[in-house]
């Protein structure tokens, strides 16, 4: 039998980077002027996702983000997101590449803007793909018995 797991996408990051705005922009296809502190968890039905898998999107709070970061080894694929690309004139790839090289658990990186709706659906697609078709090591050596 073919197993079809649900995908869970968690948005983690420093305060005010735009986690909630990214989710609201994806859902409403427009930039919200005012956002709540946290978005409700949303579930995207399988038939409207590119990979046909039910996908849950969770807006992590700062506290959860700290806890996440402190976990010894998460074993989950990461997408490095540079939001607010509308505010910068040049690409931040120079900053991003050394981080990518240091952290092999980062599957890919994407520059986006919740405000301009740039790369928003792509970002969530990359996250979904990273779970379903990971390229990096998925296990943590420290967790082996
Ligand atoms: P916390 O939940 O408080 O940690 O913040 P957050 O990461 O959820 O960020 P939030 O979505 O609340 O956005 C913070 C501020 O950045 C708000 O004033 C947003 O309007 C603004 N913002 C979010 N995304 C963008 C973007 O792509 N471009 C610009 N220019 N501003 C943005
Ligand atoms: Mg928020």
Mean pLDDT of 77-105: 87
Is the Cβ–Cβ distance between 12 and 83 less than 8 Å?
Answer: no
Whether the pTM exceeds 0.95: the reply is no
Average pLDDT, the chain: 85
Pick from 18, 24, 33, 63 the residue to mutate for probing ligand 1's pocket: most ligand atoms within 8 Å of its CB: 18
Please identify every residue whose CB atom is under 5 Å from ligand 2, which is an ion. 19-20
Determine how many CB atoms are found less than 10 A away from the CB of residue 102. Answer: 8
Q: How far is the CA of 20 from the centre of ligand 1 (A)?
A: 7
Residues with CB under 6 Å of ligand 1 are 15-21, 35, 37, 62, 83-84, 86-87, 113-115
Could you say which ligand is closest to the alpha carbon of residue 62?
A: 1
At residue 137 the predicted structure's pLDDT band, cuts being 50, 70 and 90, is low
pLDDT at 145: 43
pLDDT at 101: 87
pLDDT at 73: 52
pLDDT in tens, 61-90: 766 666 666 666 567 788 999 999 999 988
Instruction: Supply the residue whose CA is at minimum distance from atom 10 of ligand 1.
Output: 18
Residue 138 reports pLDDT greater than 80: no
**Distance, CA of 138 to CA of 38 (rounded, Å):** 29
pLDDT at 5: 81
Pick from 13, 14, 16, 115 the residue to mutate for probing ligand 1's pocket: most ligand atoms within 8 Å of its CB: 16
Concatenated DSSP letters of 21-63:
HHHHHHHHSS--SS--SSPPPEEE-GGGSTT---EEEEE--HH
- Which helix (H) or strand (E) element contains residue 111? strand 106-111
Q: Which tops the pLDDT comparison, 105 or 56?
A: 56
Q: Sheet of 7-11: strands edge to edge? A: 7-11, 55-59, 42-44
pLDDT at 131: 87
pLDDT at 22: 97
């Amino acid at each position: 039998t073919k197993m079809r797991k649900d995908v869970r996408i968690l948005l983690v990051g420093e305060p005010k980077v735009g986690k909630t705005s990214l989710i609201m922009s994806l859902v409403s296809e427009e930039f919200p002027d005012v956002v709540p502190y946290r978005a409700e968890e949303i579930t995207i039905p399988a038939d409207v996702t590119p990979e046909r898998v039910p996908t849950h999107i969770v807006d992590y709070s700062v506290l959860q983000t700290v806890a996440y970061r402190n976990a010894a080894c998460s074993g989950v694929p990461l997408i490095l997101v540079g939001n607010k690309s509308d505010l910068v004139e040049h690409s931040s790839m120079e900053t991003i590449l050394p981080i990518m090289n240091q952290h092999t658990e980062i599957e890919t990186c994407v520059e986006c803007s919740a405000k301009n709706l740039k790369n928003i659906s792509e970002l969530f697609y990359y996250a979904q793909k990273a779970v379903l078709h990971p390229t990096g090591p998925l296990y943590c050596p420290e967790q082996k018995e």
